[in-house]
Structure 1
Amino acid sequence: MVKFFQHTFKYEYNWESVTLAFWLRYPNPFASHVESVDVIDRYVDPNTGVLRTTRLILKRGVLPKWGKGLIKNPEAYIIEESMVNPKNKTMITLTKNVTHARVMQVEEWQTYQVDLNNREFTQVKTEARIISNFGWGLTDHVELFGIKKFADNTVKSRKGMSHVLEMIREKRGRGFLTV
């Protein structure tokens, strides 16, 4: 069985600021589990003007007591692919874990776009799919753990983005940053 998560959130910042914060979001006090972020590939599609980026992210995980015998190393590599379209002001991201995928595969899609009700705000739609092929009667248990952790981490992720957005606002106020 597959577990799904869906959530929509609104940042009271313009699209340019939110997409900038996305690239600057690590490190932040709410993401101490992120060890490193490396750009693997980045280019602008000459036909569409879309910026395409692939990054490799190393995260340090926390295992439940019952999971300690299943996974030896709680660190996980995550692939993040993104497409930023500055013409229509959308950014779409896909992240998925490369390691521990047999135990639990987490796929997350996010769409960042200008809020239709207030063009100074940015709406972020998050969708995730948690899949376990572990078997042995543990699949549902693993997926339920995954969906709970994902929901909890979504709250931390928003706090981290808000922290970075506030730093951007302060630097712009002092004339240090322009977009």
Structure 2
Amino acid sequence: MVKFYENSFSYDYQWPAVTLAYFLRYPNPYSKHVVSSDTLSSHLDSRTGNLHVTRLHLKRGKLPASVARFLPKIKESYILEKSIVDVKNQRLETETRNLDWEGVLSVVESQVYTPGSDSTTSEPEAATGAGKTDVRTIVRFESRLGGAARNTQSDGLAGEEVRGGWFSNWTTGSVQRSVELVGMRRMREGFGRRREGMKVVLEQLRETGFVGVIREQRQGGWERWKQVWRGEGVERMDD
């Protein structure tokens, strides 16, 4: 079973600023669970002129209780992010997916950032940062939890053992639906925080510029959030 979630949103900033903020969005006060972000590769396609970037994010937190019953020891997750920046057509395409506990819940998020329909601005307006950027998000949730049990049950005696064991109180369908619904609920709850985090970075860019944001993150932001990350209180894995 696969479930989809779709969301559309507009930032009151021009596409170049939003695209830059996307790559600078960690750390921010609304994503304290993100421990690190590392660039694995980046290259410029000589044919199209598009920039391709692959990054790895480490997120730390607690899984929801309904999922933790299956993976009680997992407290962190690696997220693979792939992005394509098309400067010529002003289009940013991103895809993120979890690399851990895929068998329990696979979450693949695709986003497209484009100038808003009312982003045609005059030069004076452009100089002051006027304009909008539209973001369309599609998330696919898929749980394969219980799939192995379902296959084993078709093998006679081995299947009887599974039915009387770990999955005795859960049908395959109910387990998958439960996990997928948890993932969808958490994604909806996290959208607001993610937007607010991006707005913090966008406002920093407007006030202090690129160099100011980098300085804040290296000299201030990183140090402040390290204390939170090292503390006893572990936040949930939102986004």
Q: Equivalent residue for 2:76?
A: 75
Q: Equivalent residue for 2:141?
A: 130
Alpha-carbon distance, 1:26 to partner: 0.2
Q: Secondary structure at the match of 1:100?
A: coil
Higher helix share: 2
Correspondence for 2:181 among 144, 159, 164: 144
Higher strand share: 1
Between stretches 52-61 and 101-110, larger displacement belongs to 52-61
Counterpart mapping for 1:57-96 below 5 A = 57-71=57-71, 72-96=73-97
Q: Equivalent residue for 2:110?
A: 109
Unaligned runs of 5+ residues in structure 2 are 121-130, 147-171, 214-239
Alpha-carbon distance, 1:79 to partner: 0.6
Q: Equivalent residue for 1:44?
A: 44
* Length, aligned pairs only: 175
Alpha-carbon distance, 1:109 to partner: 0.3
Q: Equivalent residue for 2:232?
A: none
Spell out structure 1 runs of 4+ moving beyond 6 A.
none
Taking structure 2 as the reference length, what is the TM-score of the superposition? Answer: 0.70
Unaligned runs of 5+ residues in structure 1 are none
Whole-Å Cα distance in 2 between the matches of residues 7 and 156 of structure 1?
A: 14
Aligned partner of 1:102: which letter?
A: G
**Contact preservation (8 Å) 2:204, 2:212:** no
Whole-Å Cα distance in 1 between the matches of residues 40 and 114 of structure 2?
A: 25
Alpha-carbon distance, 1:143 to partner: 0.3
Q: 1:54 to 1:176 in 2, by over 3 A?
A: closer
Aligned partner of 1:152: which letter?
A: E
Q: Secondary structure at the match of 2:93?
A: strand
Alpha-carbon distance, 1:176 to partner: 5.7
Whole-Å Cα distance in 1 between the matches of residues 133 and 65 of structure 2?
A: 39
Whole-Å Cα distance in 2 between the matches of residues 152 and 47 of structure 1?
A: 40
Q: Secondary structure at the match of 2:47?
A: coil
What RMSD in Å do the two structures reach over aligned CA positions?
A: 1.5
Whole-Å Cα distance in 2 between the matches of residues 70 and 176 of structure 1?
A: 44
Q: Percent identity?
A: 40
Whole-Å Cα distance in 2 between the matches of residues 129 and 68 of structure 1?
A: 20
Aligned partner of 1:73: which letter?
A: I
Whole-Å Cα distance in 2 between the matches of residues 176 and 99 of structure 1?
A: 35
Q: Secondary structure at the match of 2:48?
A: coil
Alpha-carbon distance, 1:117 to partner: 2.3
**Contact preservation (8 Å) 2:205, 2:212:** no
